[in-house]
Amino acid sequence: MALLSILCYPDPRLHTVAKPVAVVDSRIKRLIADMLQTMYEAKGIGLAATQVDEHVRLIVIDVSEERDQPLVLVNPQLVWTSQETHINEEGCLSVPGIYDGVERFDAVTVSAQDGEGKSRLVQAEDLLAVCIQHEMDHLMGKVFVEYLSPLKRNRIKKKMLKAQREEQR
C-alpha cells in the first residue's frame, strides 16, 4: 500500500469528470487499498478517486467512530433520494481548513459495486448520506465550495493559493 497525494482546490484536475470502472481488477484493488490508507492517514471520512488524480468512478468512506468500517463504492449511482433536505457543515481533504454549509438530501439509496466487484444497494442517512453525496460530486468534478456564493468561493480560492505558495517556499 502507498500513501497518495491529494489534489488541493483550486487545482483544475479536481474538475475532471470520472469514467466508469470497467472491471474491478488488481489495479483497481490496489487503488482502493491506497485510497483507504490515504483517507485514514489524513483523518478524513471520505475520499474520491478524483482527489488523488485517478479519474474513475470510485469512492471510499468511513464514518464510524472507530475508523474500522470502510465502505467502498465502485460506479455509484443514486437510485433514490429523500424529499427532505438539510444544510450540513461540510469540509473536504482537498480544501483543508474550510468548513461551510451545503444543502443535501437527508437520505439516499445508492447502487454500486463493492471492492470485489459485487453489486450492492446501500441505504444511507444522516452523515453517511451527506458523505456519499459529497464524494459523488467529486466524481462529477464538483467541489463543495462550488455551492457557496461566488464571493465566499473567491475568498477561499485566494486563501488556498496563498497557503500553497507559502508551502512551496
Chain residues binding Ni ion by CB under 5 A are 92
Q: CB-wise, 13 or 27, nearer to Ni ion? A: 13
Q: Which residue is nearest to Ni ion (CB)?
A: 92
Output phi, psi for 127, to 5 deg.
-60, -40
Q: How far is the CB of 95 from Ni ion (least distance, A)?
A: 7
**Active site annotation includes 89:** no
Q: How far is the CB of 24 from Ni ion (least distance, A)?
A: 23
Query: Residue 14: which of 112, 145, 131 has the closest Cα?
Result: 145
Catalytic residue among 84, 135, 146, 166: 135
Q: How far is the CB of 92 from Ni ion (least distance, A)?
A: 3
Q: CB-wise, 3 or 121, nearer to Ni ion? A: 3
What are the cell numbers at 33?
487499498
Q: Catalogue the active-site residues.
A: 135
